[in-house]
Amino acid sequence: MIKAVLFDLDGTLADTARDLGAALNRLLAEEGLAPLPYERIRPVASHGARGLVQLGFGADLPAERMEALRVRFMDLYDANLAGETTLFDGVNELIAELDKRGLAWGIITNKSMRFTDRLVPWLPFAIPPAVIVSGDTVGVAKPDPKPMLHATGQIGIAPEQCMYVGDAERDIQAGRNVGMKTVLVNWGYFSEQDRPEQWGADIDIDHPLQLLDHL
């Protein structure tokens, strides 16, 4: 029996791609390069700062150069964290219904606490999350099982009684690693290289409210 639903953040609950893309384009401008169109940025938005920097500057950057650009990207994103970020349509209705049914909900994201500590309270969630685990909360990020186990420990619900919802392969891996039922959201951020049909999610959904059919 499912007693809690835990979610990834970027590309699952919140559409953060435009603000992430704006930070990347500001970084490109600082480096004298042309901006990238949103259509190229959105599919990579779940791949973190490193993935976005590689999109803009290439995957074969020297390590020092990559780290410098990554740090600068994070500073630029931090300066305009939520200019265009919104919840996906149906998310708040889903969360309200989960609460009505007596189910806990929470967030497990690879986003740094530096961002989640400010962004999550700002987002207009109908009910506050019971737990928030960021990418650096326990020193390792998904797909490592530790963030998942930390979250379930915080809410006092066994992993097998939890459902994990995300849009990336690491989300499905992380949930499966601890025995959670896994859900892939088809509105998330997928690159051309992604093969979500091979990730082994238990369920995939096209709209947040479809999740209710599986509880």
Mean pLDDT of the chain: 96
Beta bridge partners of 163: 5, 181
Candidate list 8, 19, 167, 171, residue with the active-site label = 8
Distance CA 147, CA 108 (A): 7
Quote the pLDDT of residue 192: 82
Active site residue 10: yes
Tokens of 50: 């490193």
Quote the pLDDT of residue 168: 94
Quote the pLDDT of residue 10: 96
The total of other beta-carbon atoms located within 10 Å of residue 123's CB is 19
> Do 40 and 29 meet the contact criterion of CB atoms below 8 Å apart?
no
Quote the pLDDT of residue 52: 96
**pLDDT above 90 for 112:** yes
Query: In which residue are the tokens 């049914």 written?
Result: 101
- Separate counts of helices (H) and strands (E) for the chain: 8, 8
| Section 107-135 average pLDDT | 97
For 157-196, the pLDDT digits (tens) are 999 999 999 999 999 999 999 999 999 999 999 988 889 9
Distance CA 26, CA 73 (A): 8
The total of other beta-carbon atoms located within 10 Å of residue 167's CB is 25
Question: How far, in whole angstroms, is CA 41 from its chain's centroid?
Answer: 15
Residue 131 per-residue DSSP state: -
Quote the pLDDT of residue 199: 96
Candidate list 10, 19, 167, 171, residue with the active-site label = 10
Pick 4-15+85-213's CATH classification: 3.40.120.10, 3.40.30.10, 3.90.660.10, 3.40.50.1000.
Answer: 3.40.50.1000
Identify residue 128 by its one-letter amino acid code: P
| Section 119-142 average pLDDT | 97
The Cβ-side half-sphere exposure at 171, using a 13 Å CA radius, reads 32
Beta bridge partners of 108: 133
Distances (CA, A) of 158 to 71, 93, 99, 177: 37, 25, 18, 13
Nearest to 178 by CA among 45, 6, 10: 6
Active site residue 213: no
Quote the pLDDT of residue 194: 87
More confident residue, 215 or 193: 215
For 36-91, the pLDDT digits (tens) are 999 999 999 988 899 999 999 998 999 999 999 999 999 999 999 999 999 999 99
The total of other beta-carbon atoms located within 10 Å of residue 198's CB is 9
Distance CA 108, CA 141 (A): 9
| Section 116-136 average pLDDT | 97
